[in-house]
Amino acid sequence: MQINNREKSRVLNTPHGSEIRPLVDRTNSAVSQCSLAEELLPPGCSVSLHHHRVIEEIYYILEGEGVMRIDNEQSQVAAGDAIYIPRDSRHTLTNTGADVMRLLLVCGPAYFQEDHRSE
């Protein structure tokens, strides 16, 4: 059995200003088919536009509100929303609220940096 605690997870600071905590991924477990991370996105910040050739993602918003863009579609999103991001889809998320947006990032297969394609 493996249990990873959020408070003991390493923090990755992104160029767009968010903090990502890998909870279960290739760097801290033997997982290969999926991964889970938490992201804290400050007010006014946007996830850099990017896509993945192999990975599919789900963003699950725990707290906050914003605008999600996937390819040419855009929609308001808020706590309780789960957003499916197909592979090879260019996507970004902007925090339009006054508070930090907290979301879970689920990837399949497990996230690997080489598949992250910046625009």
pLDDT (mean) for 72-93: 98
45 vs 118, residue with greater confidence: 45
Question: Alpha carbon of 96 to those of 35, 49, 78: distances in Å?
Answer: 27, 16, 10
CATH architecture of 9-118: Sandwich (2.60)
CB 23 within 8 A of CB 15: no
Phi-psi region of 26 (alpha: psi -120 to 50; beta: other; left: phi over 0): alpha
Residue 119 pLDDT greater than 90, yes or no: no
Q: How confident is residue 72, by pLDDT bands cut at 50, 70 and 90?
A: very high
Q: For residues 10, 12, 67 and 59, what is the CA-based torsion angle, rounded to 10 degrees?
A: -50
pTM for this entry: 0.94
Each residue of 9-31: pLDDT tens digit?
A: 999 999 999 999 999 999 999 99
The 10 Å CB-count burial string (b at 16+, else e) for 71-107 is: eeeeeebeeebebebeeebebbbbbbbeebbbbebbb
pLDDT value for 11: 96
Residue % of the chain over a pLDDT of 90: 96
Structure tokens at 67: 């605008």
